[in-house]
Amino acid sequence: MSSPYLTQPLYRRVMTLTGIYLSFIFVISDAIVYASTLLPTAMADLGGNDLYALGTAIGGILGVTAMPFLGYFAARNPHLKPWLLGGTLVVLIAEVVVRGTSPNITVFLVASVFMSLGTAGCYVVGLPLIRDMFPVKRAGLLLGFVGTASSAGLVIGPLVFGRIIDEVGWRTISWLVAPALAVAAALIFLGARPSKAEAAPSAVRYGSVDTAGAVLLTALITFLVLPLSLGTSLVEYGTWLNTLFFVAAAVSLAGLVAVVRAKKETAFLPSVVFRNRNTLALIVQVFLGSASALAVQTFMPLYVLLVLGGTAFQSGVAAAIYAIPSLLLGPTIGRIIGRTGTAKAVILWSTVLKVVVMAVFGIWILARPETITITLVNVAMLVAGTYAAGQQGATQTAPQIMIPPKLRTLGTATVSMQLSLGPIIGAAVFGGLIVGLGPQEGIGVAVLAAAVMGVCAAVPALFLSPLTGDDSVDAAEAAEEAVEAETGNGQRPAPTVAN
């Protein structure tokens, strides 16, 4: 069954594609500068330094809950995908504006809760849209350019925005990000838009909205984030309140498992996606991979800022260097996954490199901290960026290539959840270590802990395999190229009038 977006006029597909790329650039740039530079700078201005770990983690909670909902509605109503993606960008624009005008840290943190909705829309709706609009091998290349767009965001956020924070102030970032996101939303709203009737054959229905599952998942994440992020400061480990949070998290998890088992395909996390081996392997791998990556991506620029006494710009340079390999390698990695039909090799080589780099640098920080310089951090970030290119390319491309078409939207939603859930847990745990042990020792311990998590992330990749039969890369390519060719590369033929 061909996608209704495949036969949309080419210029409309290009508009949507451009909007998606712009979305990734500015959603990522805003998110990365938030954690590494903007948040600590804003807290120094507004107060609340003890809340750093909570502030880092809190931005992802709503996105985790929103991802399955977006996947659910996008699967049932494929014609609404542009409106769902554009809508999340509109909410993000509002969040950015409120955050930039916050009079105190409370308003700042409440606004930040909505920050991850943009990420949710980009991954759950934006990536499948690219796959929907183009044949599989071309889509693999175009999905690879998403890695380039994301890397551009990783450069713009810490480097350009870091300099602006130094020179003008952290509030100025809102007035740069909001207009850019508005342009992206407009392109998506005006781009490829099949009718409800055209999209109906590709709709996938798995029952009604699972409100109980959504509430339990949100409760689970909240009750985990609070004790983990505040365990070394305001709500210390071992106190009755910290223990109560963990008990509540365990109860929420038990309830969520019970709901999934009872409702199966109609659950908030539909059991059908867990029965597909590739989808399950990607879910576990992306969760562990994204959680472990946070230790270097976010906290090494923080090390430059807090331990080495660097400026926000120097911290941004370290983060930008980390993004350079992805900027260059993204399309190549996407093409490899698109042509081979599997991300196993890409994930394995990038994970091995990740573990080696993290282990060496973590031990170095703890054993010889006096020898660490900003230049050394920058070199380490360049090497680390190479493994990040592999993980990022696999995360963005593999679900669109390795999950069967009928499960693609729901599967992508569940896999993409891990891009928020992993960093939330990582930020809470690693951020708690930094608050409790101090930046000098805490960042070193966090990097070593992330290396162990990286080893675990390699195991699920061993179970990945290319799709076969009608869903294989070659079969899908031939069928989708034929559909696209029938309408003149997406240009609809002029209607004929009967005599």
SS3 letters across 103-161: CCHHHHHHHHCCCHHHHHHHHHHHHHHHHHHCCHHHHHHHHHHHHHHHHHHHHHHHHHH
Decide if domain 10-206+270-486 falls under CATH 3.30.1360.20. Answer: no
Say what the pLDDT of residue 268 is: 63
| Residue type (1 letter), 297 | Q
Hunting for tokens 């992805």 — which residue is that?
A: 326
Q: Is the pTM for the entire model greater than 0.85?
A: no
- pLDDT given for residue 17 in this prediction: 95
Q: State how far the Cα of 206 lies from the Cα of 270, in Å rounded to an integer.
A: 8
Which residues 6+ apart lie within 8 Å of 300 measured at CB?
318, 322, 377, 380, 381, 384, 443, 447
Please compute the mean of the pLDDT values over residues 288-295 and round it to a whole number: 80
Least confident of 58-72, 113-127, 128-142: 58-72
Q: How confident is the model at residue 495 (pLDDT cuts 50, 70, 90)?
A: very low
Per-residue pLDDT of 364-409, as tens digits, reads: 989 988 898 999 888 888 888 887 888 777 777 888 888 887 788 7
71-77 mean pLDDT: 83
pLDDT score at 498: 37
pLDDT for 94 beyond 90: yes
> CA-to-CA distance for 380 and 300, rounded, in angstroms?
9
Of 19-28, 126-135, 201-210, 239-248, the range with the lowest mean pLDDT is 201-210
Alpha-carbon dihedral of residues 300, 431, 426, 221, nearest 10 degrees? -150
Q: Which residues of 452-478 are buried (b: 16+ CB within 10 A; e: fewer)?
A: ebbbbbbebbeebebbeeebebeebbe
DSSP 407-423: GHHHHHHHHHHHHHHHH
| pLDDT reported for residue 175 | 94
